């Protein structure tokens, strides 16, 4: 599941699977269905404020990508750098 941070004033997610912290999920529990651990199915549109981070499973459309920024996994970045050094 890819991680994102909200850059716009707010963002609405209408459908899909989200990975949220416990506090994020508790504030939105009436809009979500627990799937497993910290993953939730969106039952009704969910909003996030600027600066909030969340995981999203699935494809992100171009419009939404103008409002959120992918958060790179630091482990992946290190592996990529190591690969470049070896080449």
Between residues 73 and 7, the one the model is more confident about: 7
Neighbours of 38 (CB within 10 A): 15
Q: Is the pLDDT of residue 8 over 50?
A: yes
Q: Which residues contact 34 (CB under 8 A, 6 or more apart)?
A: 25, 40
CB burial string 58-82: b at 16+ within 10 A, e below: eeeeeebeebbeeeeeeeeeeeeee
Q: What pLDDT is stored for residue 78 in this prediction?
A: 45
Instruction: Flag whether the pTM goes above 0.85.
Output: no
| Domain residue spans of the chain | 2-86
Question: 39-68, pLDDT tens digit by residue?
Answer: 999 999 999 999 999 999 988 889 999 999
């Amino acid at each position: 599941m890819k991680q994102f941070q909200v850059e716009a004033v707010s963002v609405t997610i209408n459908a899909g699977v989200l990975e949220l912290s416990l506090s994020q999920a508790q504030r939105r529990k009436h809009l979500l269905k627990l799937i497993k651990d910290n993953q939730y199915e969106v039952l009704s549109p969910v909003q996030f404020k600027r600066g909030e981070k969340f995981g999203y499973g699935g494809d992100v459309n171009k419009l939404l990508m103008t409002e959120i920024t992918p958060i790179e996994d630091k482990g992946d970045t290190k592996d990529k750098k190591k690969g470049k050094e070896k080449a």
